[in-house]
Structure 1
Amino acid sequence: MKQTLPFCLKRNCFGILTLGCALLSLTATAQSAAPDTLQTGYGAKPAAEITESIRQLPSDQLNQGLVTSLEQLLQGQIAGLRVMPSGGAPGAGATMQLRLGAAVFGNSAPLLVLDGVPLANSSASERISAFAFINPDDIASVALLKDAAATAIYGSRAANGVLLVTTKQGVPDKKIKLTYTTTAGISVLRKKADVLSADEFRSLVRKEFPDQVGLLGNENTDWQDVIYRKAFSHDQNVSVSGTVGSTVPYRVSFGHLNQKGILKSTQHRRNSLAVSVNPSLLQEHLKLNVSVRKVDQKVDFAAPNAITAALLFDPTQPVYQENNYGNYFTYLDTEGKAIESVSSNPLSLLEQRRDVDETSTLFGQAHLQYKFHFFPALSLHLRYAFQNQDSEYGNYQPMNMISSGSYSGRGEEHVGAIDQDLKESFIVLDQPLESLQSKLRLTAGASMKKLTTYSENRLLNTLNGEQMEGNHIYYKSRIESVNLYSQADFIFKNRYSINASIVNEQDSHIVKQKSITGALGAAWDIAKEPVLEANKTISSLKLYANYSNFNKTGFYKNLQFMQIQQPDHSVVKWNAGVAWGVAEDRLYGDINYFNTNVSNFALATPEANKIAYSSSFMEGGAIRSSGVEGSLRYEAVRQADLKWSFGVNVSYAQSEVVKLPYGSVYYPYDAGYLGSNVLSLGESPAAFYLLKQLYDAAGKPLEREYEPNYEMRTSYHILGKASPDFTFGLSSDLLYKKWSAGFLIRGATGQDVFNNSDAYTSSLFRANQYYKLSNIPSSYFENAFEYPQTQSSHFLEKASFARLEFAQIGYDCGKLWHNRAGLKVTATVQNAFVLTKYSGQDPEVTNGFDDWQYPQPATYSLGIKLEI
Structure 2
Amino acid sequence: LDEVVVIGYGAVKKEDLTGTADLVTSEDFNKGPIVSAQQLITGKVAGVNVVGGSGAPGDGQDIRIRGTGSLTLSANPLIVIDGVPLNNDSVGGARNPLNLVNPNDIESMVVLKDASATAIFGSRGGNGVIMITTKKGKDREFRFNVSTSTTLNVAKDRVDVLTADEFRQVVASHPDTDASILALMGNSNTNWQDEIYRDAFGQDHAISALGSAWGIPMRISLGYSDYEGILKRDDFQRTTGSLSLTPSFFDDHLKLELNAKGQYTENFFANRGAIGTANVFDPTQSPYNPDGSYFDWTDSSGGHIGLSPINPLAQIYLTNDESEVRRFLGNAKFDYKLHFFPDITATINMGLDKSNSHGRTSNSMDYFIDPGRKGNYSQERTDKLFDAYFTYNKLFNDVHNLTVVAGYSYQSFEFNATSYNTVDDQDYIDKSKSVLLSYFGRLNYDYKGKYLLTATLRADSSSKLNPDDRWGIFPSAALAWNISKEDFMDNISSIDELKLRIGYGSVGNVNGLGDYLFLTRYTGSNDLANYLFGDTYYQTYRPDAVNKNLKWEISKTLNLGLDYALFGRRIYGSVNAYIKKTEDLIATSTVDPFTNFSNRVAANIGDMENKGIELDITIVPVKTNDFEWSVNYNVSFNDNKVTRMPDAQEVGGIAGGVGNYIQTHVEGEAPYSFNVFQQVYDAEGNPIEGAFVDRNGDNIINDKDKFIYHDPYADVLMGLSTNVSYKKWDLSVVTRASLGNYAYNNVASGNAYLNNVIPGSFNYLSNIHSEYLNSGFVQFRDNTLLSNYWIQDASFFKIDNITLGYTLDNAFKDTIVRIYGSVQNVATITDYDGLDPEINGGIDNSFYPRPRSFVLGLSFDF
Q: Are 1:773 and 2:771 an aligned pair? A: no
| 1:376 counterpart residue number | 342
Match for residue 402 of structure 2 among 436, 440, 450: 440
Tell me the SS of whatever aligns to 1:566.
coil
Counting only pairs closer than 5 Å after superposition, residues 463-862 of structure 1 correspond to structure 2 as 468-469=424-425, 471-510=426-465, 511-512=467-468, 513-550=470-507, 556-557=518-519, 559=521, 564-567=548-551, 569-603=553-587, 619-662=604-647, 664-670=648-654, 673-710=659-696, 714-769=704-759, 770-788=762-780, 789-817=784-812, 819-862=813-856
Tell me the SS of whatever aligns to 1:762.
coil
Report the CA distance shift for 1:809/1:713 in structure 2 as closer, same or farther (over 3 A).
closer
Counting only pairs closer than 5 Å after superposition, residues 55-204 of structure 1 correspond to structure 2 as 55-104=22-71, 107-125=74-92, 127-172=94-139, 174-204=140-170
Task: Point out the more displaced range, 667-676 or 136-145.
Answer: 667-676
Tell me the SS of whatever aligns to 1:694.
strand
Cα drift, residue 681 of structure 1: 2.5
Cα drift, residue 674 of structure 1: 4.0
Which whole-Å deviations, capped at 9, do the CAs of 1:304-356 have from their partners, x for residues lacking one?
31101111111111111145xx7112223445444344222111111121111
| 2:253 counterpart residue number | 285
Q: 1 CA distance for matches of 2:836 and 2:4?
A: 40
Tell me the SS of whatever aligns to 2:548.
strand
Which whole-Å deviations, capped at 9, do the CAs of 1:248-294 have from their partners, x for residues lacking one?
11111000000111110111100011111112322221111101111
Partner AA of 1:500 in structure 2: A
Cα drift, residue 213 of structure 1: 1.5
Counting only pairs closer than 5 Å after superposition, residues 283-362 of structure 1 correspond to structure 2 as 283-323=251-291, 327-362=293-328
Partner AA of 1:515 in structure 2: G
Task: Point out the more displaced range, 545-554 or 293-302.
Answer: 545-554
Q: 2 CA distance for matches of 1:127 and 1:207?
A: 48
Contact kept? 1:294, 1:363, Cα under 8 Å: yes
Q: 2 CA distance for matches of 1:616 and 1:783?
A: 41
Report the CA distance shift for 1:690/1:457 in structure 2 as closer, same or farther (over 3 A).
farther
Contact kept? 1:812, 1:824, Cα under 8 Å: yes
| 2:527 counterpart residue number | none
Cα drift, residue 412 of structure 1: 2.5
Partner AA of 2:192 in structure 1: W
Match for residue 429 of structure 1 among 365, 375, 392: 392
Contact kept? 2:77, 2:128, Cα under 8 Å: yes
Contact kept? 1:798, 1:837, Cα under 8 Å: yes
Partner AA of 2:443 in structure 1: A
Contact kept? 1:486, 1:502, Cα under 8 Å: yes
Report the CA distance shift for 1:42/1:717 in structure 2 as closer, same or farther (over 3 A).
same
Contact kept? 1:567, 1:617, Cα under 8 Å: no
Report the CA distance shift for 1:196/1:161 in structure 2 as closer, same or farther (over 3 A).
same
Contact kept? 2:558, 2:579, Cα under 8 Å: yes
Match for residue 214 of structure 1 among 178, 183, 187: 183
Cα drift, residue 552 of structure 1: 7.7
Cα drift, residue 668 of structure 1: 4.7
For structure 2, the residue ranges without an aligned partner over 5 or more in a row are 511-515, 523-543, 590-599
Contact kept? 1:148, 1:521, Cα under 8 Å: no
Report the CA distance shift for 1:831/1:674 in structure 2 as closer, same or farther (over 3 A).
farther
TM-score by length of 1: 0.90
Cα drift, residue 670 of structure 1: 4.5
Cα drift, residue 413 of structure 1: 2.1
Tell me the SS of whatever aligns to 1:56.
strand
Which whole-Å deviations, capped at 9, do the CAs of 1:723-744 have from their partners, x for residues lacking one?
1100110000101010000111
Counting only pairs closer than 5 Å after superposition, residues 29-40 of structure 1 correspond to structure 2 as 36-40=3-7
Report the CA distance shift for 1:670/1:353 in structure 2 as closer, same or farther (over 3 A).
same
Tell me the SS of whatever aligns to 1:714.
helix
Contact kept? 1:103, 1:604, Cα under 8 Å: no
Report the CA distance shift for 1:449/1:365 in structure 2 as closer, same or farther (over 3 A).
same
Tell me the SS of whatever aligns to 2:98.
coil
For structure 1, the residue ranges without an aligned partner over 5 or more in a row are 1-33, 462-467, 606-614
Q: 2 CA distance for matches of 1:49 and 1:840?
A: 47
Report the CA distance shift for 1:181/1:446 in structure 2 as closer, same or farther (over 3 A).
same
Q: 2 CA distance for matches of 1:598 and 1:865?
A: 47
Q: 2 CA distance for matches of 1:181 and 1:713?
A: 59
Contact kept? 1:53, 1:590, Cα under 8 Å: no
| 2:530 counterpart residue number | none
Which whole-Å deviations, capped at 9, do the CAs of 1:561-617 have from their partners, x for residues lacking one?
966211463211111011101011100111100101111213499xxxxxxxxx975
Report the CA distance shift for 1:798/1:816 in structure 2 as closer, same or farther (over 3 A).
same
Match for residue 399 of structure 1 among 341, 346, 365: 365
Report the CA distance shift for 1:217/1:106 in structure 2 as closer, same or farther (over 3 A).
farther
Contact kept? 1:311, 1:775, Cα under 8 Å: yes
Cα drift, residue 559 of structure 1: 3.4
Number of equivalent positions: 809
Cα drift, residue 551 of structure 1: 5.6
Cα drift, residue 618 of structure 1: 5.5
Task: Point out the more displaced range, 527-536 or 475-484.
Answer: 527-536
Tell me the SS of whatever aligns to 2:315.
helix
Report the CA distance shift for 1:361/1:713 in structure 2 as closer, same or farther (over 3 A).
closer
Contact kept? 1:139, 1:166, Cα under 8 Å: yes
Q: Are 1:454 and 2:416 an aligned pair? A: yes
Q: 1 CA distance for matches of 2:748 and 2:668?
A: 30
Q: Percent identity?
A: 28
Which whole-Å deviations, capped at 9, do the CAs of 1:196-232 have from their partners, x for residues lacking one?
1111111111111531221111011111111000001
Contact kept? 2:472, 2:552, Cα under 8 Å: no
Report the CA distance shift for 1:146/1:806 in structure 2 as closer, same or farther (over 3 A).
same
Report the CA distance shift for 1:66/1:555 in structure 2 as closer, same or farther (over 3 A).
closer
